[in-house]
């Protein structure tokens, strides 16, 4: 996969962006530069979220957070967020992501004014479906709540007083579950009347559940009809904003719609983003973003939650200890599988050690026998000195983390977006970044948001892409 071109008309700080990343360039490494605040991080996050999240329900919250505030303007029925061209190895597929209203789909579906409103397919149908499905998911909790209400009332009935006036709070609690106690025809509360109430309440709750399931099936059919109609116009439905009845969709060009969803799924697993955790704002809800400046623990908690679903996201701030240990475990398991299959252990574990030794130069990884942790050894002048992570520089750990991340995730033939990749690296190592990445995995495309002149100068000027406002030229003394 190769990202060939990205166009962003107007999103946050990005205005009239149009950048081409030529698929026939060698190496396929493209520095992306601008001044601070120029939108490099925003552009990478936008690309990543659109391509990585659009077909996976678990990732849609990150996409919805990103779209927060991107609404139709007055008088608009369609607003383009981004146009992304993907080279799949044989042809270029264009993906146009945009927000649209019911008016837009009514126009492309060519509804006449004579058609009744209730007969027109509408995004409000999808909102109703989501609400009904949410209510259905709460069925079990409603049943538990009713049982608890009845249990408490039974406990409150005194053994010496079998009659008393029906309590207002019980009426209110049942009404919260949309249960009408009056249908039980009970004026006084005792054990027998409570049994009548229990039977009637459970019957009403069961009927509610049946009705909602019927509604869900009806709205599912309508949703399927909307999806099929959109697909006839080469449009894939992605999600809907329930507060505004605006949908987010993707128009695909130069691809058979019979395989369009499969293509988007495969693409989503071929897009990766590495970035500092402080840069990953757009994936979080608004309150989560604010917490970076007010409550660091809340921010980290929000980020951890996002990380659990965005499998293609890697943040440099977390030392890749777990990833490194898992890499050794994976290499060990591969060797064991090969032994079971061929009778001889594989070379994966040994190869990983050799690669890490080469990467770390005069340092070696020292893994605990039970895989519970690791340290490092410094080999110098014939001596072996044990080191711990704090004994390694930030740059060494970052370079190691990136290498291990690429290898452990088996990232190949992918679009790899990297933000602030040069931070903490010596200028010589910044200059080596493109060479390192190509050596570690040459089949990938790398787009690197950077301020590093050294990184940019390691490639031809045509490789370097610029967002306005441009960086000023470095002045020689």
Q: For the residues of 163-221, what is the DSSP string, one character each?
A: --BPPHHHHHHHHHTT--GGGG--SB-SHHHHHHHHHHHHHHHHHHHHHHHHHHHHHHH
Q: What are phi and psi of 314, to 5 degrees?
A: -135, 130
Amino acid 371: pLDDT = 78
Between CA 403 and CA 145 the distance in angstroms is: 51
Cα–Cα distance measured from residue 287 to residue 65, given in angstroms and rounded to the nearest whole number: 10
pLDDT in the model for residue 381: 54
What does the angle CA 185 – CA 191 – CA 194 come to, to the nearest 5 degrees?
Answer: 40
CB within 8 A of 290, min separation 6: which ones?
none
Cβ-contact 364, 407 below 8 angstroms: no
Q: What share of the chain is helix, strand, coil (3-state, %, to 5)?
A: 50, 20, 30
Terminal-residue alpha carbon distance, the chain: 43
* Beta bridge mates, 84: 6, 95
Torsion of CA 323, 329, 334, 336, to 10 degrees: 180
Burial 266-292 (b: 16+ CB within 10 A, else e): ebbebbbbbbebebbbbbbeeebbebb
**Selection from 165, 173, 172 nearest residue 147 by Cα:** 173
Half-sphere exposure of 234 (CA within 13 A, CB side): 11
153-to-164, 168, 170, 175, 196 alpha-carbon distances in Å? 12, 12, 8, 15, 13
Q: How far is CA 457 from the centre of its chain?
A: 33
Within its chain, how far is the Cα of 415 from the centroid? 16
Nearest-angstrom CA–CA distance, 161 and 5: 80
Q: CA triplet 392, 398, 404: central angle to 5 degrees?
A: 105
Cα separation, 398 vs 395, in Å, equals 5
β-pairing, 14-20 with 92-100?
unpaired
User: Rounded CA gap, 70 and 49, in Å?
Assistant: 14
Domain spans, the chain: 1-101+245-312+410-477, 119-237, 320-408
CA nearest neighbour of 405 among 301, 322, 349: 322
Q: How far apart, in whole angstroms, are the C-alpha atoms of residue 398 and residue 470?
A: 27
| 3-state secondary structure (DSSP) of residue 472 | coil
pLDDT of residue 46: 94
Query: What's the pLDDT at 159?
Result: 52
Q: 440, 416 in Cβ contact below 8 A?
A: no
CB 399, CB 391: distance < 8 Å: no
Pairing outcome for strands 92-100 and 246-253? antiparallel
Q: Write the class of the CATH domain 1-101+245-312+410-477.
A: alpha beta
Ordered per-residue pLDDT tens for the chain, 477 residues: 899 999 999 998 899 999 999 998 999 999 998 888 788 999 999 999 999 998 888 888 888 888 888 888 888 899 999 999 999 888 999 999 999 988 888 888 876 555 555 556 777 788 788 788 888 887 888 888 888 877 777 776 665 454 455 566 677 777 777 777 665 566 666 677 777 778 878 888 888 888 888 888 888 888 888 888 888 889 999 988 877 778 899 999 999 888 888 899 999 999 999 998 777 777 877 777 777 777 767 777 777 777 778 888 888 865 556 777 777 888 888 888 888 888 888 888 888 877 777 777 677 777 777 877 767 777 665 566 676 666 667 777 788 888 888 887 889 999 999 999 888 888 888 998 999 999 889 999 999 999 888 999 999 999 999 987 655 555 444
Q: Tally Cβ neighbours within 10 Å of residue 212.
A: 17
Q: Alpha helices, DSSP H only, in 38-178?
A: 40-53, 60-67, 102-108, 123-137, 139-156, 168-176
Rounded Cα–Cα distance for residues 28 and 22 (Å): 8
pLDDT for res 162: 47
């Amino acid at each position: 996969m190769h990202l060939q071109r990205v166009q962003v008309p107007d999103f946050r700080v990005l205005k009239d962006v149009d950048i081409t990343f030529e698929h026939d360039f060698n190496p396929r490494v493209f520095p992306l530069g601008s001044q601070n605040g120029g939108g490099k991080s925003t552009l990478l996050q936008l690309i990543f979220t659109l391509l990585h999240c659009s077909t996976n329900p678990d990732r849609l919250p990150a996409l919805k957070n990103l779209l927060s505030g991107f609404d139709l303007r007055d008088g608009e029925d369609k607003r383009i967020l981004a146009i992304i061209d993907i080279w799949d190895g044989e042809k270029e597929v264009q993906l146009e992501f945009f927000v649209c209203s019911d008016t837009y789909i009514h126009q492309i579906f060519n509804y006449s004014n004579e058609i009744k409103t209730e007969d027109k397919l509408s995004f409000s149908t999808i909102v109703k479906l989501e609400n009904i499905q949410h209510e259905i998911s709460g069925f079990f909790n409603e049943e538990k709540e009713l049982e608890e209400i009845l249990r408490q009332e039974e406990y409150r009935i005194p053994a010496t007083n079998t009659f008393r006036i029906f309590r207002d709070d019980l009426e209110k609690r049942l009404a919260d579950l949309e249960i009408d106690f009056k249908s039980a025809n009970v004026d006084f509360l005792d054990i027998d009347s409570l049994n009548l109430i229990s039977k009637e309440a459970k019957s009403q709750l069961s009927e509610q559940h049946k009705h909602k399931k019927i509604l869900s099936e009806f709205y599912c059919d309508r949703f399927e009809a909307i999806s099929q109609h959109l697909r006839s116009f080469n449009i894939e439905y992605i999600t809907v904003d329930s507060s505004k009845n605006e949908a987010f969709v993707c128009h695909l060009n130069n691809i058979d719609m019979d395989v369009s969803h499969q293509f988007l799924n495969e693409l989503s697993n071929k897009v990766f983003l590495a970035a500092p955790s402080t840069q990953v704002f757009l994936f979080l809800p608004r309150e989560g973003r604010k917490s970076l400046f007010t409550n660091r623990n809340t921010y980290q908690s929000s980020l951890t939650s996002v990380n659990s679903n965005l499998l293609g996201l890697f943040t440099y701030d977390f030392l890749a200890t777990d990833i490194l240990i898992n890499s050794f475990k994976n290499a060990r398991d591969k060797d064991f599988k090969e032994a079971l299959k061929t009778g001889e252990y594989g070379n994966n574990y040994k190869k990983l050690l050799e690669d890490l030794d080469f990467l770390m130069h005069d340092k070696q990884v020292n893994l605990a026998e039970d895989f519970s942790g690791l340290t490092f050894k410094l080999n110098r002048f014939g001596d072996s000195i044990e080191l711990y992570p704090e004994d390694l520089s930030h740059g060494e750990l970052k370079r190691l983390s990136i290498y291990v991340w690429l290898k452990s995730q088996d990232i190949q033939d992918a679009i790899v977006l990297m933000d602030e990749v040069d931070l903490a690296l010596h200028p010589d190592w910044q200059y080596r970044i493109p060479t390192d990445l190509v050596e570690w995995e040459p089949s990938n495309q790398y787009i690197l948001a950077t301020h590093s002149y050294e990184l940019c100068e390691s490639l031809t000027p045509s490789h370097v892409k610029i967002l306005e406002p441009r960086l000023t030229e470095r002045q020689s003394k």
